[in-house]
Amino acid sequence: MERPVGLERACRGGEAPDVGEVIVPGERIMQRLDELAAEIAAAYPGGELTLLAVMNGALFFLADLARRLPMRVELTTVRVRSYRGREVRPGGAEIVGELCDDLSGREVLIVDDILDTGSTLDLVAEAVASQRPASCRVCVLLRKGRPDARPARADFVGFDIPDRFVVGYGLDLDGWGRNLTDIVALTEDAGDRK
Ligand code: 5GP
Ligand code: MG
- Output the average pLDDT for the chain: 87
Q: What pLDDT was estimated at residue 83? A: 59
31: helix, strand or coil: helix
Mean pLDDT calculated for residue range 19-44: 96
CA 54 to chain CA centroid, nearest Å: 7
Ligand 1 atom closest to the Cα of residue 114 is 9
Contact call for residues 114 and 143 (beta carbons, < 8 A): yes
pLDDT at 12 over 80: no
User: With a 6 A CB cut-off, is 172 part of the ligand 1 pocket?
Assistant: yes
Averaged pLDDT for residues 106-132 = 94
**Residue 31, pLDDT score:** 98
Identify the weakest region by mean pLDDT among 47-61, 72-86, 89-103. 89-103
| Res 88: pLDDT | 56
Q: In the predicted model, is pLDDT for residue 193 greater than 50?
A: no
Q: How far apart are CA 103 and CA 89, in angstroms?
A: 32
CB 186 within 8 A of CB 166: yes
Q: What is the pLDDT of residues 53-80, one digit of tens each?
A: 999 999 999 999 999 999 999 999 999 9
Pocket test for ligand 1, best of 114, 124, 126, 143 (most atoms within 8 A of CB): 114
Cβ atoms 49, 109 nearer than 8 A: yes
Query: Whose C-alpha lies nearest to ligand 1, atom 8?
Result: 82
Strands (E), 37-182: 48-55, 72-81, 94-96, 107-115, 135-144, 156-161, 166-167
- Cβ-contact 68, 37 below 8 angstroms: yes
Model confidence at 89, pLDDT cuts 50, 70, 90, reads: low
Whether ligand 1 lies within 6 angstroms of the CB of 56 is answered as: no
Q: Rounded to whole angstroms, how far apart are CA atoms 143 and 51?
A: 19
Across the range 5-16, mean pLDDT stands at: 76
- Asked about 116 being catalytic, the answer comes back as yes
Range from 61-70, 90-99, 115-124 that averages highest in pLDDT: 61-70
How many angstroms does the Cα of residue 7 sit away from the middle of ligand 1?
21
The one catalytic residue in 64, 112, 113, 116 is 116
Of 16, 22, 17, 18, the C-alpha closest to 2 is: 22
For residue 32, the SS3 value is: helix
Q: Which amino acid is at 53?
A: A
Kindly list the structural domains of the chain, giving each domain's residue range(s) and its CATH number in brackets, ordered by start: 26-163 (3.40.50.2020)
Percent of the chain with pLDDT over 70: 87
Q: Answer yes or no: are the C-beta atoms of 165 and 88 closer than 8 Å.
A: yes
Contact 154, 147 (CB under 8 A): no
Higher per-residue pLDDT: 91 or 119: 119
**In the prediction, which pLDDT does 194 show?**
33
